[in-house]
């Protein structure tokens, strides 16, 4: 019984080993696909061929065909005939195993590539011919089969493979035959001497029995014959009983063997069912884990994109990249930057006519529109302070003040406010008239502090831009003399003269017309 259990255990281990091999092949395919992502050139072709082999062993023939086809195309582009021939060989095998009709074309094309490149890879060429021979044998093409056999024989002869009738083999076979003949002669002589000894012993025994018979009387001979007959009968009875006992023992043994085989079969079926259930459970669990992992990866990517967009809404891209790489940023000096300030006239009176919620909502509407306008001109929003809006041009790459874009954006802001206020007047709501001031010059830009990062700019240019805005009028765009020198050829302007600015003295200022 223990021997039967040992048989069950061995078969279970074999089945488990087969399942482990299948999972190992799947893991190998996954590892090769991982390596393939960053591979290029000949290394990528080799990995594609290895992936085709692994897919063949795993029984994934369509995948093996695709990988081998990709390897062949890439090898042809890179002019690697040896690798291309290998790829065609793998594609032919995968098509052959999956029952495709054009498998023979791939093997023939592989050999053609080897011949054209004068490759000495006889092993690959013989492998192609062997598979072509198998296909021809299945199809019953005897003539083609004969030609393939001749090609295989020629290649093997040219490759130094010894023929079965060589002189060395004949000599070896002759030597072996001579040794066997000598052994047989020795055995015959030994048996002959044994037979001679046995014959002499029997002759001596017969002579002794004949001498005894000569001495016996007729009556004694009859008595001896009767005893011999009774002994023969008795021996036959014992022989019959022995044969019956042997038959019964054989029957019992057959019954026990049948019972053992039945139990063994039941045990095998149980083990197979357990292995099938375990494999199914592992497969389903792996699929579930893969699905959960994919969902988590999608969520992580969405959160990364959301965080990236949020960070870019707070900081310029150049500053954000530096902050992510170094954990800190360095303030930078920019020689030529345009700065715009916008402020609403009589905001305190407007606040008295609206509830806080309405006021914040109206400001949000205005500032969102301002954000859309400056985004069209690739300007950088700096911040809002109460009802004041601040943006800059020429940041963060220092590509120039962008004054033309800045003035165009300011005109779009005033045009939108004009239309928006026209609708509000019809509803009896207060107007939002904005003063806009623009100046250009050098600034320092960056992020200060370690919490609640905020991008800002500093310098006398910022202060002058604020003073230019304060000296403006509602619905108008007021620019400094420095800004006027840049835009005067594009935008018509009205000179206002030198206007006093707090802490800055008198500054040349212009209203942009239109």
Last residue of a domain, one of 158, 176, 205: 158
- Taking the alpha carbons of 150, 152, 156, 159 in that order, is the dihedral positive or negative? positive
Q: Which residue has the higher pLDDT, 306 or 53?
A: 53
Q: Is residue 182 domain-resident?
A: no
394, 334 in Cβ contact below 8 A?
Answer: yes
Q: Which of 78-82, 97-101, 317-321, 476-480 has the lowest mean pLDDT?
A: 317-321
d(CA 397, CA 450): 23
Predicted confidence (pLDDT) per residue in 298-347, tens digit = 877 777 777 666 655 566 666 667 777 776 777 889 999 999 999 999 99
Q: Give the CA-trace dihedral at 313, 317, 318, 323, to 10 degrees.
A: 60
Residues 376 and 501 both lie in one domain: yes
What pLDDT does residue 6 have? 47
Residues 426 and 309 both lie in one domain: no
Residues 127 and 257 both lie in one domain: no
Residues 348 and 474 both lie in one domain: yes
Predicted confidence (pLDDT) per residue in 484-511, tens digit = 999 999 999 999 999 998 888 899 999 9
What pLDDT does residue 260 have? 78
Q: Is residue 185 domain-resident?
A: no
What pLDDT does residue 256 have? 81
Q: Is residue 190 domain-resident?
A: no
Q: Is residue 119 domain-resident?
A: yes
Q: Is residue 282 domain-resident?
A: yes
Mean pLDDT of 267-287: 86
Residues 444 and 368 both lie in one domain: yes
pLDDT greater than 70 at residue 233? no
Residues 303 and 430 both lie in one domain: no
Q: Which residue has the higher pLDDT, 388 or 194?
A: 388
Range of the domain at 465: 331-512
Listed residue (319, 339, 344, 352) closest to 379, CA to CA: 339
Last residue of a domain, one of 158, 193, 225: 158
Q: Which residue has the higher pLDDT, 175 or 139?
A: 139
List the beta bridge partners of residue 479: 438, 510
């Amino acid at each position: 019984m223990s021997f039967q259990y040992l048989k069950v255990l061995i078969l279970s281990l074999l089945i488990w080993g087969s399942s482990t091999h299948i999972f190992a092949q799947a893991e190998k395919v996954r590892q090769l696909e991982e390596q393939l992502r960053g591979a290029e050139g000949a290394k990528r072709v080799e990995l594609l061929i290895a992936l085709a082999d692994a897919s063949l062993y795993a029984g994934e023939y369509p995948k093996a065909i695709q990988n081998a086809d990709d390897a062949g195309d890439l090898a042809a582009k890179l002019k690697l005939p040896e690798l291309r021939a290998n790829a065609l060989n793998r594609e032919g095998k995968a098509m052959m195993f999956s029952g495709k009709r054009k498998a023979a074309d791939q093997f023939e094309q592989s050999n053609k590539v080897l011949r054209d490149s004068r490759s000495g890879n006889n092993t690959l060429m013989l492998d192609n011919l062997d598979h072509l021979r198998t296909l021809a044998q299945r199809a019953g093409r005897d003539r083609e089969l004969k030609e393939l056999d001749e090609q295989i024989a020629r290649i093997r002869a040219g490759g130094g493979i010894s023929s079965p009738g060589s002189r060395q083999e004949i000599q070896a076979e002759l030597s072996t035959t001579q040794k066997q003949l000598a052994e047989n002669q020795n055995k015959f002589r030994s048996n002959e001497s044994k037979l001679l000894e046995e014959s002499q012993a029997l002759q001596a025994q017969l002579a002794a029995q004949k001498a005894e018979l000569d001495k016996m009387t007729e009556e004694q001979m009859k008595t001896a014959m009767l005893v011999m007959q009774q002994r023969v009968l008795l021996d036959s009875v014992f022989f019959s009983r022995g044969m019956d006992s042997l038959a019964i023992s054989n029957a019992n043994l057959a019954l026990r063997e049948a019972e053992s085989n039945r139990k063994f079969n039941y045990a095998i079926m149980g083990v197979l069912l357990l292995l099938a259930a375990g494999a199914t459970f592992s497969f389903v669990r792996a699929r579930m884990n893969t699905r959960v992992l994919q969902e988590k990866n999608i969520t992580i990517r969405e959160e990364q994109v959301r965080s990236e967009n949020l960070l870019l809404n707070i900081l310029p891209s150049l500053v954000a990249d530096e902050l992510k790489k170094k954990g800190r940023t360095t303030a930078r000096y920019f020689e030529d930057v345009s700065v715009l300030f916008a402020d609403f006239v009589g905001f305190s009176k407007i606040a008295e006519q609206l509830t806080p919620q309405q006021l914040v909502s109206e400001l949000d509407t205005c500032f969102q529109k301002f954000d859309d306008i400056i985004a069209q001109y690739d300007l950088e929003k700096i911040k809002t302070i109460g009802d004041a809006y601040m943006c800059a041009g020429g940041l963060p790459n220092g590509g120039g003040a962008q004054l033309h874009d800045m003035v165009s954006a300011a005109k779009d802001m005033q045009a939108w406010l004009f239309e928006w206020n026209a609708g509000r007047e019809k509803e009896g709501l207060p107007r939002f008239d904005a003063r806009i001031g623009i100046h250009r010059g050098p600034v320092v830009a960056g992020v200060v502090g370690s919490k609640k990062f905020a991008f800002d700019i500093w310098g006398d240019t910022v202060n002058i831009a604020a003073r230019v805005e304060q000296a403006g009028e509602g619905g108008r765009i007021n620019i400094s003399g420095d800004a006027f020198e840049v835009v005067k050829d594009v935008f018509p302007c009205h000179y206002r003269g030198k206007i006093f600015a707090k802490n800055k003295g008198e500054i040349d200022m212009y209203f942009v017309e239109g």
